[in-house]
Structure 1
Amino acid sequence: MTEHAPKKAVVTAGTGGIGLETALGLARQGWDVTVVARDEGRGEAAVAHLDEASGRRAGRFVRADLSSLAETRRLGERLADEGALDLLVNNVGGMWTGRRENPEGIEASIALNHLSPRVLTEALLDALAAAAPSRIVNVTSSAIAAAQTVFDDAEPPGPHYGLAVTGRAKLAHLAYSMELAERLEPRGIAVLAADPGAAATDNASHMTIDILPPALRPHWEQIQQGVSAPVASAAKSPLAAATDPALEGRTGLVVGPAGTVDDTLLAFVTPELSEAVRTWTAKLMATVAQAS
């Protein structure tokens, strides 16, 4: 009997937190997993974990700074040249108390939570189509509920509150994901969003109350309790979105923290918002192209 080659997955920000737990789950299920991140030491450690979890050589580390759109584009070209890809998990993201910028001068949470995964995804569409039926899993967040839904300018009006800015970027990417699902369905590529819920990630451990808009600050203690959940349990959602046979042939869905379909966050994605996000994203990408 002919042995089938393992399916191939790419997991961004896969050397720690939810990304590593997702990669480990895939490796245990027989996948070959490429984890992408910046730190070589963490990358080597992640590959060792993947190989140990699977009992074989299942892991590979590729270094890239995904906050840089230019570097993300180069990564996409490299991975695309390797041929068919069964799964892309866009797990990379970030939320900070203070405002930061990426190397192209874009506010960092917008770059990491929306533009970078968009650039990588578009670069890998032919590779994903070559492995169809294949899946794209975009990790989303309930921070969407705190988003400022104004997309007239690059950044939302008023003071910078990390939760609201990140929620806005995640909302933009969810709107993009739903449009992408419709566009890619004829090519056999399913697009699913995964909401892992709150968890004790490295990013969450650096949060301070200043990350919240003033109206949410009375709930700070409750929010801190929420982000104390084990990271391993938070991987249930992206793993289900990536591998659950019950989702075969389905697209344009959100998989909630319980690992089942949950359309709560889709209530924020209206046709008007999707149009605003499309225009806003095009302006941002044009600005990046002019600067490069």
Structure 2
Amino acid sequence: MSKGTVLVAGSNANRIEIRGGGTGPTGQYLNELVVPVMALVDAGYDIVFATPNGSKPHIDPASDKAVHFDDEAAYRQARAFFDTSPVLNKVSTLRALIETGLDRYDGFFTPGGQAPVVDLMQDGDLGEILRFFHVQARPTAFLCHGPIASVAALPRAKEFRAALIAGETVRAAALGNGWQYAGYKMTVYSRSEEKPIEEQILHGKLYFDMPSALTIAGAQVNTGPDFAPHVVEDREMITGQNPRSDHPLARALIAALDRRRIKPNASHTASAEKVSP
């Protein structure tokens, strides 16, 4: 018997803007999507997968490697799961899930890779979904670059992102007023972790870094050592810093979902910060 249903929101982006014009390749990170989803399925939770346009996310080639997994066998299992599992190959639109009702979902998860920086952080449908989960205090998890998608909950998320790209931090801060997650403790991919990607893959710099963007919106950002597992929990929100945080974030999300099954309103009172390795 299913223990509940988790809404997993993916990105459709495969290019990201870089300073000076042009774009670089991007996508979702394979392990950041598949490892938590497989853990949720193994724990007894059903998955409903959705993206803005209803097509399957593009996997960033930089993530399609065994180095991001425990070993070669784990990588091959994850790749096969992404390629063939019905869980990740039946994709809805975010709008369709809203129209059929959000109350059926017990939790929410968005993985990283830089792709959410392009579309999810300014997607109005995702914003509506996140506002629902916030009001209901249902477990809401984001991994790596994924936490930037939380700013979609802003009424003027598109303008907020445009202000960041333009370097208009004062305007961005004003547009961030009233953000549902203002004051929340969270983590996200750090500026120093981003640097190798900019230098070796994008060959250019992003218009803004993730910790600064979330801080401008009103978050209390806490980043740990580069490329080491780091998860922060505050109230209903669970955030993981980087690809190495895939397993710890999955464990934290499953624990939060299990607590909610026992005590449905537990997230309302879980306001203290928890940092887990």
| Fold equivalence (TM over 0.5) | no
TM class, shorter-chain normalised? 0.3 to 0.5
- TM-score of the superposition, structure 1-length normalised? 0.43
Greater helix proportion = 1
- Of Structure 1 and Structure 2, which has the larger fraction of its residues in strand? 2
Q: Larger relative CO (CA 8 A, sep 6+): 1 or 2?
A: 2
Tell me the TM-score normalised to structure 2 length: 0.44
